[in-house]
Copies of this chain bind each other. A is one copy, B any other.
């Protein structure tokens, strides 16, 4: 799966993933009002609004970017209708040729981790019938439980040609509470990074990168520099650009000299761009056009920083 992602990154010249985190507060009133009129102020109403909103964003950006990253928490909070919207979003984005990174941060042990891997990347066997479930292309995974939590995912990745991104150093202010603490001579995140390198060895694609990637926040560029060396064949998914404070120049260290090795996520900064002063001329009705312009500007910001 990493080969497909890298190919799309090269083709679009945009190492960018659009984070589909559709909080109700980001959705224009005209979409919300229509959904509430159709379904009431219900889980179903919220789910309809989310899906409608997402389709607008996908339509306006799919030719510019290689991938989208729906954050499942934003759907799960609307219960079963919310998860229907998640499923439909995945399908719609796929139909437009996008790679899907399911930001699910799952992680458990043994057969339970296998079940999560099946849910998001694989096929379930029901009395001999193999059925695909949510069928994202990549999923994000939490490393706290060690190899028992990860190898069921890598096994499914091998079988189904999929990939994962493992949390190494997250973008939030308190990520250092455990991740930065010195552990036998180096911070925990470095131990996790070394394991990511190891877990990914059997999944290196033609492009030279592994389908086992890592998450390292844009808000910690110095960590990016170190981790780029610790995990030379690892693609780094970088959240925290834009709204969380990460800037184009901070991103340089996450890339290799080949201009590859990192993909930068922006959620709010793209999908809610119309609420930002810089794009206010688009208005609510133009939320999707604002998102398109925000992607173009982000691509330029990254390109400038890398050159």
Where the two chains meet, the residues of A that have a C-beta atom closer than 8 Å to any C-beta of B are 21, 23-24, 32, 36, 41-43, 45-46, 71, 73-74, 76-80, 82-84, 87, 105-113, 115-116, 118-119, 124, 126-129, 131, 133-134, 142-149, 167, 170-179, 181-184, 188, 191-192, 195
Contact = CB atoms under 8 A, between A and B. Distances in A.
Contact of A23 (B24, B46, B106, B111): B111
Contact of A129 (B42, B171, B181): B42
Given A43-B124, A128-B41, A144-B142, A133 B170 contact: no
Contacts of A176: 146
Contact of A73 (B21, B116, B129): B116
Contacts of A83: 80, 83
B87 A79 contact: yes
B124 A77 contact: yes
A115 B74 contact: yes
B171 A109 contact: yes
A84 B80 contact: yes
A97 to B, nearest CB: 23
Nearest to A24: B126
B147 A144 contact: no
A184 B177 CA distance: 12
30 contacts: A36-B127, A41-B129, A42-B129, A42-B131, A43-B124, A46-B124, A71-B112, A73-B112, A77-B115, A77-B118, A77-B124, A78-B126, A78-B133, A80-B80, A107-B142, A109-B170, A110-B172, A142-B144, A144-B167, A144-B178, A144-B179, A145-B170, A145-B172, A146-B178, A147-B174, A148-B172, A178-B191, A181-B183, A182-B183, A183-B183
A79 B134 contact: yes
A112 B215 CA distance: 16
Contacts of A149: 172, 174
Contacts of A147: 174, 177
Contacts of A32: 127
A168 to B, nearest CB: 10
A199 to B, nearest CB: 11
Contacts of A112: 21, 71, 73-74
A271 B194 CA distance: 39
Nearest to A170: B145
Contacts of A111: 23
A36 B93 CA distance: 32
A145 B174 contact: yes
A87 B170 CA distance: 31
A165 B45 CA distance: 32
